């Protein structure tokens, strides 16, 4: 029997084959990794035409119906995590394509949230750049003790961010459409209205799952309520925030700044304003990019493919 062809997409750091023991597939699968990112359907369809298995990292490469319909050889999709809004699950089911997910990678995004908060309020990138140029103390930062942290979404990651805030002796307020006072208190936060949160918070951080219901949930009117000294932090998903409205707000310096790990379009276009705005601290969606997470993701990818080849149960997504 010919070896099954496996494509591992968007292996940006070229480490997919190092992060797991792929020998379980030896003689059964031929694995090809791709470091570059392709965005258009035509190029992707051409690249993936002969592959029976496609492995995707989070939502780096969307797999919508028009693309899936052009991949007659495709039988299995393996995605990191058990939720991937970029895969058309209904189309995959209709086309007889099995979709398998991996375990979660932990709290990397919550940890990065605090790295961004601290770097933004203390102007760490600017001071580091200035020091390398021979300068000394060029900005004045803000402290965190006694400030108000507003958390939008108090699920697993939002709750972790709330716990970390207690170490800085911050007041924590929270809002989401289904959040209760009891759950907020359970995580050391106080439930407020959406309007109250945007008016009162010194730092607003976003931790919601992207869906049709939450897309654009942080609108221009919401952003307009922020204090001129406030910061917006987003390590969740770019489309949760009205990006055009945020850019306009930042251009007018109506808020102190934004710290962003996620964007409307990823990878971020070369000439996007966020790449050059001085009041934006931007990172390339690295919240989940840790050795720890990658070892879990790629281990489970191998495990899923091996089980599928042997007809054994897998972590199949609905």
Q: What is the pLDDT of residues 117-130, one digit of tens each?
A: 999 999 999 999 99
Q: Which residues contact 32 (CB under 8 A, 6 or more apart)?
A: 5, 6, 7, 8, 51
Q: What is the pLDDT of residues 185-201, one digit of tens each?
A: 999 999 999 999 999 99
pLDDT band at 105 (very low <50, low <70, confident <90, very high): confident
- Residue closest to 305 by CA, chosen among 52, 11, 73: 52
Rounded to whole angstroms, the Cα distance separating 9 from 232 reads: 31
Residues carrying an active site annotation:
237, 266, 285
| b/e burial code for range 11-47 (CB count within 10 A of at least 16 → b) | bbeeebeebbebeebeeebbbeebeeebeeeeebbeb
Domains of the chain are 4-105+290-309 (3.40.50.720), 108-282 (3.40.50.720)
**Can you give the pTM of this predicted structure?**
0.94
Q: What is the pLDDT of residues 127-178, one digit of tens each?
A: 999 999 999 999 999 999 999 999 999 999 999 999 999 999 999 999 999 9
pLDDT band at 318 (very low <50, low <70, confident <90, very high): low
223 burial (CB, 10 Å; 0-12 / 13-18 / 19+) is buried
Q: What is the pLDDT of residues 243-293, one digit of tens each?
A: 999 999 999 999 999 999 999 999 999 999 999 999 999 999 999 999 999
pLDDT band at 84 (very low <50, low <70, confident <90, very high): very high
Residue 315: the pLDDT is 82
Which token pair is 290?
């840790």
Rounded to whole angstroms, the Cα distance separating 309 from 170 reads: 51
**Phi and psi at residue 38, in whole multiples of 5°?**
-110, 135
Look at residue 1 and tell me whether its pLDDT is greater than 80: no
């Amino acid at each position: 029997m010919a070896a099954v062809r496996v494509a591992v997409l968007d292996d940006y750091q070229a480490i997919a084959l190092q992060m797991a023991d792929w020998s379980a597939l030896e003689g059964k699968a031929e694995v090809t990794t791709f470091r570059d990112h392709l965005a258009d359907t035509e190029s992707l369809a051409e690249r993936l035409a002969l592959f029976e298995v496609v492995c995707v990292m989070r939502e780096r490469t969307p797999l919508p119906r028009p693309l899936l319909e052009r991949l007659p050889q495709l039988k299995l999709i393996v995605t990191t995590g058990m939720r991937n809004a970029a895969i058309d699950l209904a189309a995959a089911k209709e086309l007889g394509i099995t979709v398998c997910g991996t375990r979660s990678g932990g709290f990397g995004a919550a940890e990065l949230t605090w790295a961004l908060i601290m770097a933004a309020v203390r102007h760490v990138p600017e001071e580091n750049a200035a020091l390398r140029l021979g300068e000394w103390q060029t900005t004045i930062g803000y402290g965190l003790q006694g400030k108000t942290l507003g958390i939008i979404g108090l699920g697993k990651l939002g709750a972790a961010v709330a716990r970390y805030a207690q170490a800085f002796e911050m007041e924590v307020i929270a809002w989401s459409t289904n959040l209760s006072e009891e759950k907020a208190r359970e995580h050391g936060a106080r439930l407020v209205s959406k309007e109250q949160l945007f008016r009162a918070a010194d730092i607003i951080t976003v931790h919601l799952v992207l869906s049709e219901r939450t897309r654009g949930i942080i609108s221009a009117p919401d952003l307009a309520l922020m204090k001129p000294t406030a910061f917006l932090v987003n390590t969740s998903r770019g489309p949760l925030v009205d990006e055009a409205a945020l850019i306009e707000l930042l251009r007018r310096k109506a808020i102190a700044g934004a710290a962003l790990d996620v964007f409307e379009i990823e990878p971020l276009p070369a000439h996007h304003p966020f790449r050059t705005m001085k009041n934006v601290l931007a990172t390339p969606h690295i919240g989940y990019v840790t050795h720890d997470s990658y070892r879990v993701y790629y281990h489970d990818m191998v495990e899923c493919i091996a089980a599928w080849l042997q007809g054994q149960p897998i972590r199949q997504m609905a």
